[in-house]
Structure 1
Amino acid sequence: MSSEAHKLSFSPRECLSGKIGRINRLTANIFRKYIAPFGVTDSQLTLLFILSSGMELTQKELSDIAKLEKSSVNRNLKRLIESDYITRKYFPKLKITSTGKKLVTNILPEWEKAMAEITNLLGSEGVSAVNTIHSKLTKNIS
């Protein structure tokens, strides 16, 4: 195929990565609206949610579970440790602190409002589609 013909067949609107990226940004904006007053980001909240289950994890384990790049986890952990939400006292394991647990408890009602807003926008078919996509994309990922 000539490069001219190739250019004509390319449609950015059909790019799955672009669509998923836009979905991510749109949903992140909704969550941000609710959690911004707490001074944590979506990624930081993800790490806090994982550790709030009572698990003590290494940075690598946390990165693997959250599906975040090592540098992103490192940067977010630094901020969470500085804010006394997570401790490295049990190095190499990371653990949520009582301050972190209180933060999660305080954020949960706002997180639930964000979830309700997104669920309302998507409807049951949209939620089901997102669950299907997530399942298919994570099926073979360790």
Structure 2
Amino acid sequence: MARFLDQRYQMFKSQNMEESFFDVTFDIEGKLIHAHKFMLASVSEVLKRMVSDTWNTGETIKIETYSFNDFYEFLTFVYSGNCSIIDENIFSMVDLSEFYQVKSLQHKCDQFLSQKEHTSENILVFLQTLSHYSLPILKALWKYQKMSF
């Protein structure tokens, strides 16, 4: 199974239109990312609707809300179950996971945030930035904030 996942990811990573039979293209910041509808539809109802024939007429889907790098990491997760979550992209990855309703990525983001050291300096930034999301770590942060102040 792991070999199959790796092959799928390598196909995505190559972005080779001739060999990979991509059937959907995203335009982010003028750069193109090719993908497979079946992969997207299998992990997210939102993506399934987005790439369905009724919504997508075969034209490139423009993504304006996210950076190229963040959307690429998101699709990397869709294909491989892994992606690079770092301090610089955590808020975007949380937003992507919530917007596209990818629960396994939400869990990965929650794990990342749970491992961060929470201080009085950074906790308000986390709470303000993440307040409209449903990550379990937020309950713990609210509790910490109430006990500390």
**TM-score, length-normalised on structure 2?**
0.26
- Identify the structure with bigger relative contact order (alpha carbons < 8 Å, sequence gap 6+): 1
Larger proportion of strand: 2
Larger Rg computed on CA atoms: 1
**TM-score, length-normalised on structure 1?**
0.27
